[in-house]
Chain A
Amino acid sequence: MVWLAVMAAARERRVRVAPRFKDVEHLLRLAGLFLAGVLIFVIVRGALVPDDFGALGHYRAGALASNRDKPVVHAGQAACVGCHVDVAEVRAGSLHAPLGCEGCHGPLGAHASAQDDRKPVRPEGRDLCLRCHAANAGRPAWFRTVVATEHAGEERCITCHRPHAPALR
């Protein structure tokens, strides 16, 4: 841009007096400085942009791997029933059959891959049951809910219901 300006100025002046080199020499120094700056920028940029940037889109392709490379915390239903065949049999056909084990027992990825001896949570009390089954205006009509105190006083749910197959004991 500076160069264009110099040229324009020079062209205009040529009509009257030809511009002498030494009168625009300081402008060329400035232009040289800019050129050097741009050159340094281009070189530094080339060196610093990650190699895998832009391979798939405007991002580091390696970011896909770093998003995948995370521990699996919930093992998944298939892994649970692989070992706990007995529980799977109890659950089969019951209203709770479609539930994932880890919804109630907590995440068990480490347990399933035998990385540690962490045991599943065995829910006590009735908070867990009531999180789903307490009467609540938002719950759809098809879903079975109770007002706990009316339904069972202070009694625990598992006194009467088996959580793996919740029909009455």
Chain B
Amino acid sequence: METSRRDFLVIGGRLLVMTAATAGALEHVLAGTPEKAPTYDTAAHWWAMTIDIDLCIGCGNCVRACKAENDVLNEPFYFRTWVERYHVDPADMEHPTVDSPNGGFDGFMERYPDGSGKTFFVPKLCNHCAHSPCVQVCPVGATFETPDGVVLVDKEYCIGCRYCVQACPYGCRYIDPRTHTADKCTLCYHRITRGLTTACVETCPTGARQLADLKNPADPIHEFLRANKIQVLKAQMATGAKVYYAGLDGAVR
């Protein structure tokens, strides 16, 4: 009795302080199943992500949030997103030193002293390529590009042949040892289709990552792409990668 009365008070208190906008956001959270958020129209979106290298501080928030949000196995070697640290010596720019201890999950222990070359962080995730090599090689149609530009895996259909893992130039895929099927970043498809942003963007303290919808004319990505020098990873692979990096060094691969 006591408990239910307190619940009533809490809920009542919430209703009092909620503005219309936040109530809307909470409704998305409460929505639960996609059927309950029927307004989402795949034809109205074309998802991408922007990453500003100069804003990344290598805290690893994105890696931890991603694992929690998407039930990613909390062990090394299973990452939907991870952070790499590059150290480039001007004398040998072709051969950078790179590390990514536990994918950056625990942040980075200090290692490189200041002054010897440059050091910076590079967050990585699936590039949700428009011409995905992984989708191309899937023998059965268990991975695909959605009409709104996200590369997804059908875990009930995947045969676990691992050809897609081989075909990804970016190392974004792995086999989930619990399901024996391919797994990868879904761009938090369960969130973005409910009006929320991805877990990595939600928890990024500096705003280095931003979810972007290229079909939305008001999306800041258009200004971002105009105002910055933009690079995608391994452009020579012609994968149509849709993770756009600002300030990416040529040493990054």
B interface, size bucket = 35 or more
Contact (Cβ within 8 A) B34 A74: no
Hey, what's the 0/1 contact readout for A61-84 against B, CB within 8 Å counting as 1?
001111111111111111101110
Contact (Cβ within 8 A) A67 B141: no
Q: Please indicate the chain A residues that have their CB under 8 angstroms from the CB of B35 in the complex.
A: 65
Q: Please indicate the chain B residues that have their CB under 8 angstroms from the CB of A83 in the complex.
A: 13-14, 17-18
Q: Please indicate the chain A residues that have their CB under 8 angstroms from the CB of B68 in the complex.
A: 73-74, 106-107
Hey, what's the 0/1 contact readout for B148-188 against A, CB within 8 Å counting as 1?
00001111110000000000000000000000000000100
Q: For chain B residues 127-155, which have a beta carbon within 8 Å of chain A?
A: 141-147, 152-155
Q: Please indicate the chain A residues that have their CB under 8 angstroms from the CB of B231 in the complex.
A: none
CA gap between A53 and B87 in the complex, in Å? 47
Interface size of A by CB at 8 A reads: 50
From A59, A67, A113, B186 is in contact (CB under 8 Å) with A67
**With A59-B144, A63-B156 as contacts: A76 and B120 at CB distance below 8 Å:** no
Q: Please indicate the chain B residues that have their CB under 8 angstroms from the CB of A58 in the complex.
A: 141, 144
Q: Which residues of B contact A (CB under 8 A)?
A: 7, 10-11, 13-14, 17-19, 21-26, 28-30, 32-35, 42, 54-61, 65, 68-70, 85-87, 106-108, 110-114, 119-121, 141-147, 152-157, 186, 189-191, 193-194, 196-197, 199, 202-207
Q: Which residues of A contact B (CB under 8 A)?
A: 50, 53, 56-60, 63-79, 81-83, 85, 98-100, 102-103, 106-107, 109, 112-114, 131-132, 134-140, 142-143
